[in-house]
Structure 1
Amino acid sequence: MTDLSKLPVTVVTGFLGSGKTTLIRHLMQNPGGRRLAVVVNEFGDVGVDGEILKGCAIPDCPAENIVELANGCICCTVADDFIPTIEALMKLDPRPDHILIETSGLALPKPLLKAFDWPDIRSKITVDGVISLADAEAVAAGRFAPDVDRVQAQREADDSIDHETPLSEVFEDQISCADIVLLTKPDLAGPEGVAKARAIIAAEAPRPLPIVECAEGVVDPRVILGLGAAAEDDMDARPSHHDDAADHDHDDFESIVVDIPELAAPADLVAAIETLARERNILRVKGYAAVQGKPMRLLVQAVGARVRHQFDRPWKPEEARRGRLVVIAEHDDIDETAIRAALGALEAAE
């Protein structure tokens, strides 16, 4: 039985662009009677997700209950960032009933669970559950599932080659650590794609897991909050590729921040991002831009060549009308000069 005196924490994990921020925004607006607090861990120092959530703040989750930890994995900075953040949230008056932690899309969730074993907080909080989001269309396309035949062929040619890619390890670790999997964007995958994604996730999971379809972040909070999993006491049931490692790193991925000029039209930026995704293997782009003649800021979210954008709020009087984008790719694919040249060439016509 979970100790009811402990403050429950839900860890929301999932690959880049799987819909974590959209889910948390829905939970903030539909908390099921709970007073929520949110911790957002970004990869890259432009706080896009945290600002989106603060813009959705409501009385049951006011802006002061939303904390952003940018440009650093919280499980790698436990003493400096994670513990003080949790302790500060617990001291809020009124105290939150539940804390949501949105991990970086590149995060391995198990090291974060280990952070909950720190003496300063172990007696005060419990991991109510780990929710892993998986993009149905991407999973159905096999982007994160090992290709057994190809692996075997490579092993026969060179037995020094690792049989896992960094992306597949992240995906598999997120599924292995989960208490429930939310299959996002089912409309894009279609019934056949959803069925295929379910089969892939079931094959990767170390134990039977509930898999729930979730479009646009809409899910009943009763399904994912109040699980009482006490995941910090259940580590052996959540295997990881990195269980034998003394620590973990994020050297497989790299992010750069690009300042971009005012645009003539959103379509120009969409086209540039699509080209970068195809030619430079860019995984993720997120940030904001200014569009000529438009008083509203353009929010941009891209997963590979799939780009979504919307005008989210007016520019503030003190803000310079220039955009900033975080671009994330695997380390070997980051060509900073080419990326900056492609995005910096979008200057609006005078």
Structure 2
Amino acid sequence: MKDLTKLPVTVITGFLGSGKTTLIRHLMQNPNGKRLAVVVNEFGDVGVDGEILKSCAIPECPAENIVELANGCICCTVADDFIPTIEALMALDPRPDHILIETSGLALPKPLLKAFDWPDIRSKITVDGVIALADAEAVAAGRFAPDVARVDAQRAADDSLDHETPLSEVFEDQISCADIVLLTKPDLAGPEGLAKARAVIAAEAPRPLPVVEVAEGAVDPRVILGLGAAAEDDIDARPSHHDGADDHDHEDFESVVVEIPELTDPEELAAKISTLASTRNILRVKGYAAVSGKPMRLLVQAVGARVRHQFDRPWAPGEARRGRLVVIAEHDDIDEAAIREALAG
């Protein structure tokens, strides 16, 4: 029998904008009797997801149980960031019953699993399961290769080219590491898109995986918590494109933080972001904006050209009404000057 005193941890991975924060917010609000703690790992200097979750804090998951680690991959900073964070959460009184870790959308989950082999925590923590979220519409459309025709042309011209695009590698590594896949935004994909997305996932998975369709993060916690996978013990069964490498890098992707002036029309900003995403292959935009005459702060989130915005909370007394957006793209597509001109001009 496994050591039942170990604290279970669920790793929630998935591509940019697949709905990880929405899922965690749902779990926080429906904890099924568990006292939760959350670690959020952001890519870029503007922390958005952690603040969203803290605004949803409830007694079963209070704000002090929510920790944000920004601008750094937690599996690359194990001793400095990850271990102290886990130890601090385990030292809370009362101690959490379950820890949720939301990885960056660009993270490779397998190196994080290896971090759980760290001597200081291996005897105290078990990875209950790895949950991979996949945007059904994006998977069906094959968006993980920004220019499929160009990649195919390169491969046809040179037999030695057998590598895949960084986006497809990230997606495949996330699926390969998963214990269960949540297929999100099914309404946008439609029946045909859902069927195609399921086929793609089945083809990429190294073993049969359960796939559950989830809208707006609404899933019964019993489906994804309490899996008892002990994923740290079967790492070899979770293949990665980066197996055998001494390390993994994040130089395939870059982020730019843009300060934006106060807006008069949120739709105008949404149009700018949509145009920028289409013309510059931008993967993700998220952040905040101030709108003239409005006491509420505007939360902005975009996946590709799909932009969503809503007023999330009042500006705090004395808080500067400033807008900041973090823009994420592949390294070769980042043109900082063009991005700043498009959004702040």
TM-score class, shorter: over 0.9
Question: Equivalent residue for 2:194?
Answer: 194
Q: 1:158 corresponds to which residue?
A: 158
Distance 1:104 1:66 in 2: 15
Q: Is the 8 A contact 1:2 1:228 kept in 2?
A: no
Aligned to 1:272: 272
How far has the Cα of 1:152 moved from its partner? 6.1
Mean Cα deviation higher: 244-253 or 157-166? 157-166
TM superposition shift of 1:161? 3.3
Distance 2:274 2:285 in 1: 10
Q: Is the 8 A contact 1:38 1:100 kept in 2?
A: yes
- Superposition pairs of residues 328-339 of structure 1, within 5 angstroms: 328-339=328-339
Instruction: Verify: 1:136 aligned to 2:147, yes or no.
Output: no
Query: For the Cα contact (< 8 Å) 2:146–2:281, is it kept in 1?
Result: no
Structure-2 residue corresponding to 1:50: 50
Query: Does residue 20 of structure 1 match 2:20?
Result: yes
Structure 1 position 321, deviation (Å): 1.2
User: Contact conserved, 2:145 with 2:165, CA < 8 A, in 1?
Assistant: no
Structure 2 SS opposite 1:75: helix
Q: Gaps (5+ residues) in structure 2?
A: none
Is 1:68 matched up with 2:84? Answer: no
2:308 aligned with 1:313: no
Query: Any idea what the Cα deviations from partners look like across 1:64-101, whole Å, max 9, x if unmatched?
Result: 00000000000000000000000000000000000000
2:244 match: 244
How far does the alpha carbon of each residue in 1:186-218 deviate from its partner, in whole angstroms, 9 at most, with x for none? 000011111110011000000000000000000
Per the alignment, residue 30 of structure 1 pairs with 30
Aligned-partner Cα distance in 2 for 1:229–1:18: 23
In structure 2, relative to structure 1, the CA distance for the partners of 1:237 and 1:217 (3 Å cut) is same
Question: Could you tell me how far 1:155 is from its partner in structure 2?
Answer: 2.9
Contact 1:140 1:193 in 2 (8 A): yes
Amino acid corresponding to residue 291 of structure 1 in structure 2: V
CA distance in 1, matches of 2:2, 2:295: 50
What does 1:1-350 correspond to in 2, within 5 Å? 1-144=1-144, 153-345=153-345
Q: 3-state DSSP class of the match of 1:39?
A: strand
C-alpha contact 1:75 1:82 (8 A) present in aligned 2: yes
Separation in 2, partners of 1:319, 1:118: 40
Give the CA deviation at 1:145: 6.9
Scaled by the length of structure 2, the TM-score of the pair is: 0.97
**After superposition, what is the alpha-carbon deviation per residue over 1:250-295, rounded to whole angstroms, capped at 9, x for unaligned?**
0000001111000011011101101100111100000000001111
Instruction: Specify the SS of the correspondent of 2:329.
Output: strand
Pairwise CA distance, 1:149 = 9.0
Counterpart of 1:72, as a letter, is G
| Aligned twin of 1:348 | none
Tell me, in whole angstroms, the C-alpha distance in 1 between the residues paired with 2:2 and 2:107.
26
SS of residue paired to 1:44: coil
Note the alpha carbon deviations across 1:121-154, whole angstroms, 9 max, x for none.
Answer: 0000000000000000000112237999976653
Secondary structure, aligned partner of 1:287: strand
Q: CA 1:225 to 1:50, structure 2 compared with 1: closer, same or farther past 3 Å?
A: same
In 2, the alpha carbon distance for the partners of 1:68 and 1:151 equals 36
Contact 2:24-2:217 at 8 Å conserved across structures? yes
Helix, strand or coil: the match of 1:25?
A: helix
Mapped contact 2:278–2:305 kept (Cα < 8 A)? yes
The normalised TM-score by structure 1 is 0.96
Q: State the AA in 2 paired with 1:83.
A: I
- Note the aligned Cα RMSD (angstroms): 1.5
Checking the alignment, whether the CA contact within 8 Å between 1:139 and 1:145 is kept in structure 2 is no
Give aligned-pair identity as a percent: 88
In structure 1, C-alpha distance between the alignment counterparts of 2:211 and 2:103, rounded to whole Å: 20
The CA deviation at 1:159 is 3.5
Distance 1:214 1:159, change over 3 A: same
Name which of structure 1's ranges 150-159 and 318-327 shifts more when overlaid on structure 2: 150-159
